[in-house]
Amino acid sequence: MNQVLVTGLGFATSIGTRYDEVLESLRGLSNGFARKQLGEDAVAGTAGVELVCGDVKGFDLSSCDFRDWRIPDSHRFNTSLLRCLPPHGPYAVTALEQAIDMAEIDRTDLGDGHCGLFCASPGSPAMTRHYLNRMAASGWRRGPPMGIVSSVAGTLNFNLATHYGITGASCGFVSACASSSHAIGYAFDEIALGRQDLMLIVAAEDSSAESLLPFLGMNALTLNPDTHSASRPFDRQRDGFVGTGGAAALILESAASAQRRGRTPIAELLGWGQASDGYNVAAPHPQGKGIRRAMEICLQSSGVNARQVDWINAHATSTPAGDRAEATALTDLGFADDDNNTSISSTKGLTGHGLSYAGALEAAICVLAIKEGLIPGNAGLKQIDPCCAGLNLPVETRAQPLNYVLNNSCGFGGANVCHLFAAIT
Amino acid sequence: MATAMQAATGPLGNQSAEEIEYQLRGFPDSAISSALELRSTFSTKALEDCLHGILRFYLPEGDQNFECNFECNDTGKIRIKEDLGLDSLSIAESMFKIEELFNIPIEYGEIAEVETIADASRLLTTKMTTPESVAG
């Protein structure tokens, strides 16, 4: 098996659209939230609803017409690309361009067949609605030809594989909030098995009413109007998640390729695991059966035991059931034992829940934490839920060299994924 | 909607200048200025210039040959596929934009017969002068 390294990261998130901004937020525990009115444009005649949401600063992608979009670094975009993208496309390109720059990859090499692209995107329900409205206005005779490729779930891989001239593997992953963690896992396999030298991974989500408000119907979103306590994973008072759009990107590379290019890796991806709950279409297994098994497989395949793990970036989204299930799984695996020093936090207290791009964002934060030697605190955590008894949940961010870091993700249908990142030795 | 102050004799006379500018935001200035001219009067040159500007928006970027064809040839004689490099989806998208702007339905079979900008101009001119062609 080839060694799999991380050589690039990119962010277009509520806590920063550059590496140094994300680092500053993690150090200072400054969240990326704002109160927003959602739904007023989506349903005529309604005032919408005000919710605390992630705010990706500098972008305005609220329109479904790309000509209205405001994008920092707009020089990276041309009309041919923009007119085929969903509203989360500019987030994705921004993050991926950063990651490619950080890895110092010559863009002319991306199409040599040794580089693949895996994406995660749920598509854009707002864009689908927009195109249907335009078709209706033409008497259903005609619709915008790029309506499909800019709105369905594969939109990122369609567009970006074309834009970057990818001739290696390209694929999109859809497993709800585990989507981008699956993308990273299978990208690991592509390199470990020698099929590709380089893998680009990018995941993104719209910030629209159509993407976020349906979660209200599941009682999964918090209605807490206070931006400082709305997202509080593992807290006794938590009552739902804060949704956010945005994007994150990672570059995975074989050790041989990084060495050939003279690149110093940021961290190593040692292994990954996945397992399903087999329990409920939306609710997690009460004992976190699937995420526990995913962590076990990940640790076993990586040759690392639970006591060696310095930090776990938990999936915990700030919902009562989800956090409890994960805390139970962590306890069952020994992370609450007296002789276990693993710190556990959920960076969703700062970022909000990025849904299908959450796994990639949190993987990128794991790699950043290893590089910078810090454990992010649990933002918003005031009263630890009794279900977390014995777990080490730091409230403040602290400096600490990290050797092994786990990243958990859980999605609808009981899909669970775990990655293990390691410092370069 | 047109107002009493607006000259309504041109093919785009039923739209205000603001409506046209909004519809064509992001398009080349030449598309907007010629569309505004088409509010008050019809001329083949203004129509060809407007189509030229709209098609330019869909031009594959970064290809100097196609850019050159846009600048070098007699507008009417420019071949949309061969000279501009527009693929079939880009042509369909540009025609959809033209349909929306002029409020004139264009059938797929009619698009297939359009080779040059002059062909597109003639097709539109014919439809403008045939009342039943105008979409309700």
Residues of B with Cβ-Cβ distance to A144 under 8 angstroms: 93, 96
Q: Which domains does chain B have, with CATH numbers?
A: 17-133 (1.10.1200.10)
DSSP A337: S
Low-confidence stretches of chain B (pLDDT beneath 50): 1-7, 136
Is A75 designated active site? Answer: no
In DSSP terms, which residues pair with A312 in a beta bridge? A344, A406
| φ/ψ bin of A107: left (φ > 0), alpha (ψ from -120 to 50), beta (otherwise) | alpha
Please choose, from the candidates A133, A111, A104, the residue with its C-alpha nearest in 3D space to the C-alpha of residue A210: A133
Task: Report chain B residues touching chain A, CB-CB < 8 A.
Answer: 25-26, 57-58, 60-62, 89-90, 92-93, 96, 99-100, 105, 135-136
Please choose, from the candidates A328, A271, A329, A277, the residue with its C-alpha nearest in 3D space to the C-alpha of residue A300: A271
Residue contact A144–B93, C-beta within 8 A: yes
Task: Nearest chain A residue to B99 by CA: give it.
Answer: A138
d(CA B130, CA B105): 12
Q: Where are the beta strands (DSSP E) in A211-245?
A: none
Q: What confidence score (pLDDT) does residue B60 get?
A: 76
Residue contact A146–B93, C-beta within 8 A: yes
d(CA A59, CA A245): 11
Q: What confidence score (pLDDT) does residue B131 get?
A: 59
Residues of A with Cβ-Cβ distance to B62 under 8 angstroms: 78
Q: Tens digit of pLDDT for each residue in A104-141?
A: 999 999 999 999 999 999 999 999 999 999 999 888 88
Q: What confidence score (pLDDT) does residue B133 get?
A: 54
Given a contact cutoff of 8 angstroms between Cβ atoms, the answer to whether A7 and A256 are in contact is no
Residue contact A138–B93, C-beta within 8 A: no
Beta strands A374-375 and A343-345, pairing class? unpaired
CB contact set of A374 (below 8 Å; sequence gap of 6+): A26, A27, A397, A398, A399, A400, A402
Catalytic residue among A315, A388, A418, A419: A315
Q: What confidence score (pLDDT) does residue B6 get?
A: 44
- The CA distance from B51 to the nearest CA of chain A, in Å, is 18
d(CA A388, CA B35): 66
CB contact set of A409 (below 8 Å; sequence gap of 6+): A177, A178, A180, A181, A315, A358, A359, A362, A416, A417, A418
Q: What confidence score (pLDDT) does residue A41 get?
A: 76
Question: Which residue from B25, B58, B99 is facing A142, i.e. has the nearest CB?
Answer: B99
Q: Tens digit of pLDDT for each residue in B97-124?
A: 999 999 888 888 888 889 999 999 999 9
ipTM at complex level: 0.81
Residues of B with Cβ-Cβ distance to A133 under 8 angstroms: none
Q: Check the CA dihedral A237-A239-A240-A242 and report its sign.
A: negative
Residue A293 one-letter amino acid = R
DSSP A244: -
- The CA distance from B93 to the nearest CA of chain A, in Å, is 6
Task: Nearest chain A residue to B91 by CA: give it.
Answer: A145
Catalytic residue among A84, A115, A177, A366: A177
Please choose, from the candidates A325, A332, A333, A329, the residue with its C-alpha nearest in 3D space to the C-alpha of residue A284: A325
Residue contact A139–B92, C-beta within 8 A: no
Q: What confidence score (pLDDT) does residue B2 get?
A: 39
d(CA A409, CA B74): 59
Is A353 designated active site? Answer: yes
Name the CATH superfamily, with its identifier, for domain A4-422.
Answer: Thiolase/Chalcone synthase (3.40.47.10)
d(CA A111, CA A104): 15
Is A88 designated active site? Answer: no
- pLDDT (tens, 9 = 90+) of chain A, 425 residues, equals 999 999 999 999 999 999 999 999 999 999 999 999 998 877 778 889 999 999 999 999 999 999 999 999 888 898 889 999 999 999 999 999 999 999 999 999 999 999 999 999 999 999 999 999 999 988 888 888 999 999 999 999 999 999 999 999 999 999 999 999 999 999 999 999 999 999 999 999 999 999 999 999 999 999 999 999 999 999 999 999 999 999 999 999 999 999 999 999 999 999 999 999 999 999 999 999 999 999 999 999 999 999 999 999 999 999 999 999 999 999 999 999 999 999 999 999 999 999 999 999 999 999 999 999 999 999 999 999 999 999 999 999 999 999 999 999 999 999 999 999 999 98
Residue A274 one-letter amino acid = Q
Residues of B with Cβ-Cβ distance to A150 under 8 angstroms: none
Residue contact B62–A79, C-beta within 8 A: no
Catalytic residue among A353, A366, A388, A410: A353
d(CA A139, CA A133): 10
Residue contact B93–A145, C-beta within 8 A: yes
d(CA A184, CA A38): 31
Long-range contacts: A78-83, Cβ < 8 Å, 24+?
A78/B61, A78/B62, A79/B26, A79/B57, A79/B58, A79/B61, A80/B60, A80/B61, A81/A159, A81/A163, A83/A146, A83/A150, A83/B58, A83/B93
